[in-house]
Amino acid sequence: MGTQDTLSIIKPDAMKLKYSGKIIDFIENKGFTIIAQKKIVLTKRQAEAFYTVHKERSFFNELVDFMISGPILVQIIEAQNAVSFYREIMGSTNPDEAEEGTIRKLYGTDIQCNAVHGSDSMENANIETSFFFSKLEMIK
């Protein structure tokens, strides 16, 4: 597949617990290059727009409230097969089911407070990265 970009979000739970540096080290040690990064606080409207694909799901409002509960660190990360590789090193959505040595096993606490978000497809990676970043913000 070659080099790809994907979105990574270090979520409010991991930021509050001061895990962002450890997660960045983890990502870089796995061979990813961070080509854009910023710390932000989402508004409710922004979080609703970002997670609009889940609008009809029962957890939507809880997810939005969680994602606006504190700062997040959004990143565009680059590597060979970045989308699938990042999903592999993130681990299962539920940290209890995640493989040892994955980000969510190391830094997540439950299915919502699971430390990180990553794009689930190349199409969504393109949508999600452009949601948070302009081309001017990407350092390649």
Catalytically active residues, by annotation: 117
Torsion of CA 126, 129, 135, 138, to 10 degrees: -120
**What 3-state class would DSSP assign to 5?**
strand
At residue 33, φ and ψ (nearest 5 deg) are: -110, 130
- Both tokens of 98, joined, read 């995640």
Q: Are 132 and 24 in contact (CB under 8 A)?
A: no
Q: What is the longest distance spanned by two Cα atoms in the chain?
A: 39
Q: CB–CB of 137/15 below 8 Å?
A: no
- Per DSSP bridges, beta strands 116-118 and 72-80 are unpaired
